[in-house]
Amino acid sequence: IAPRQFDFRELKHVYDWIEVYGLDEEAVLELVSHCMDQKGRRVSVNYIDAVARSWSEAGVWTRDAARAHLAKYELKKHGASEILRQWNKQRKPTKAETAFYDKWVTEWGFTPEAIISALPKLTVSGTPNFVYLDELLENLLKEGQTSQPEMERADAKTAEEQAFARLVFERAGKLEPATRTQRAQISMYLRDYAMPRELLLFGAEQCKGANEPFGMMKKLWNDWHDAGITSIEAARARMESKPQGFNAKPKKVDYAQNELTDEQINRILVDLDKDIL
């Protein structure tokens, strides 16, 4: 059987692969050849026995089934190996790493190109690994990004949001970049509220110099949205129609002063040199 020679004790295992595990003789040839590729010519019979058991449990009993199974295995192995190569790791993938890759492709529906495209998104403080990548891909799966075109569209959308948010903050006089939450909120006014970009920028300009410009921006934008305002002219008119403008400060209250006569003052003064009974 293949180039691997089996002694008398090992032949019992060979018979088990056929009689117990249900592999036909051609499948056994594929089995031994595969195990030798993995472990070399002196591969142990116990290793082959373990692989034979896994094949039987997976329903791999014929030569055609074995070849299809091995083709799938090589695809997973190649994909996991490519990830390691991208990380400059010169080694073969472990069984656990291959299992991760199989889950991403088979269960989650990621394309091999999408997995490679996701690698630059992996920002971790330590060395990148399959566990961190699994968490990243799970998040992308929830966002519906399982192919390279879907990821590219999402990346383009993110870049557009960042650029517009940066412009909004510049108009408001804010130097720090917008957070992810702030970018999402700005996008909400564009996408969900369908407010024109120039109107949002005009609102940002009105909040320049405020202590909390972004909070004031949202208050202004919400007011315009509720009023159905979609142009700068209408927004300016609404601001002018409000008492003292939109950013009016509370009116100072002048409290009446109580003017006392000299006689009244003398009555309430206490001579500290005298004892108070």
Task: Report the candidate in 199, 260, 201 with the shortest Cα–Cα distance to residue 231.
Answer: 199
pLDDT of res. 243: 59
Mean pLDDT along residues 31-39: 90
In whole angstroms, give the CA distance from residue 217 to residue 210: 10
Regarding predicted confidence, which is higher, 40 or 199?
Answer: 199
Q: For residue 108, count other CB atoms closer than 10 A to its CB.
A: 15
What is the mean predicted confidence (pLDDT) over 101-126?
89
Question: What average pLDDT does the structure give for the chain?
Answer: 86
Q: What's this model's pTM, rounded to 2 decimal places?
A: 0.56
Higher pLDDT, 76 or 247: 76
Q: Which two tokens stand for residue 154?
A: 């999402």
The residue whose two tokens read 């007011």 is 223
In this structure, what token pair is assigned to residue 147? 């192919």
CA-based radius of gyration for the chain:
37
Asked whether the predicted pLDDT for residue 266 surpasses 90, the reply is no
Confirm if 118 and 140 have CB atoms less than 8 A apart. yes
